[in-house]
Structure 1
């Protein structure tokens, strides 16, 4: 029974360990939790449960589940290294050799890419993981310059009337050459070493560049003409629209002026006729004259009253009473005559 208990206890312990992914327990026998990628351990499991903290993006990272690993500092790409993948909270930055360099397995450092010489072309371009792989130019191919990019090029088949056969194609240079033509288009120089013999041609040779320009001219001309016509049409439309708006504004002002006639015009051109307008004008003039006479009578009466008051004040003295009476009577007579004259 004792041995059976030991076996059972051992199997139970292994089962518990298998179910606990961290393989560690707290003092209370609880399985320690693991921090996921992107989080690091702040306080390890022991007396208490594991405490995790978020890693800072572009500064620290944590790539695996762990109950012990803290956030790690991101690597910095320096020197001949460049950053291929930036650092995140769950992945470190990936640095590779800069362009034009590769990581050498021998030195463990970035080394310059190999340049393929003349006569050799690039078979595999240089990358940050491996060097350039060059190959000899064979079977009517050539490479006339050093390069880390260009492969072997096929030899050119000389085009009659444009290029001439200068030499047989070699791995270092092409066979044809279009630069041997002189500026005189009526003569084609012979490639003989002596260079004495010349062969007149009935028609000048057509160079590739010249032919290209001649082909582009018919394309450019319609485009330029369309642009010019479009600009002229736009200018004409804008001018026509502006003139139309100005004319419409002038017509509106004229119509407004015709719709608001003066008071005299309304009277002279009313539906009642010229006689009605004349009669109304006479009535207005008579009314105005009556108002003027009433105002004059009121002013005269007030003036008469003021003068009479002054005379009475002057005549308070008994010595001049008689004289004042005569003056007052004469003044009244004068005022009455004046009033009658104005009424007439």
Structure 2
């Protein structure tokens, strides 16, 4: 309003309405619902912000509640949105923000999170990846190695073999030292007092020979291995036959289900021509159609108005959507997919009651706004777009454009 009076004495805002009253400020957690300068307004009207949807972190006589920020797919939420502060998002592991927000008064980051550099084997992260900076790789120096691909791990020191151990493989820039505590003689080793020429030397055992032979044990183990291989071949053949039998049964059931779907289509055409359910079910039972698959008979046309669904099915859908979720995929997310604004969502949340939960109030408002599009098909498509397949699967639908419901 252009005729507001500006004064300074005794008024925190320094702004006065046309009637001369000091325009009061809304506290933190409250937003301006109606400004002091609006026509016929005597003072500022405040409204509490809705948790998880809107917030207000400042006191003001002109700023309404602001919508909460949603973290992107490369970010993780470190602090949820409340009525007094916005959502706090940080880059996910192995991601960093290229230009982090430096002004604390700004509502959120000014750039997206980018992927950090990954150091290959032979290189280590001299500067590990963090939410504020990317990693920096450097080649592993002598005495260090790296055998993994990482954006945070640096080069590690090579292992040193214990005294009395031998080195089977020396440390490289991509592998650690390999040690062995067992002495493995070379082919030139032989006893000092042995005058015989030999190609290999095996240390003599301190125990005397007892005439024990390992040949029977070796034969037994070989027999067990052969028996195991035969049992494995028999099991694989049995599994293959069983799989073929299941495929044959599945094809048989699929053919039966296709016949039942055709019977269901015929029954719908019969309903359109005035026949009743009793005559249709009797005809199907006499012909044997539908004796295997009954699920298609439970589906409803996608053009059916949502309000004509059975009440128990509607209550089940509304009960699932009325549960608030941190990711916003509840009745509020569905409302945005159906074209409702944030102010509409706030209005629905304020007007709902115990007998009329928010999801039911949303469907009532949607039906009043757009009767022609308020169908189960539109609901199912919107639910799948917000990835609520668990709720969409509660309404089995099929498309049949030739069938129309009253009022659709």
Q: What is the TM-score when the length of structure 1 is the normalising length?
A: 0.45
Larger Rg: 1
Structure that is richer in helix per residue: 1
Greater relative CO, 1 or 2 (CA 8 Å, sep 6+): 2
> TM-score, normalised on structure 2?
0.38
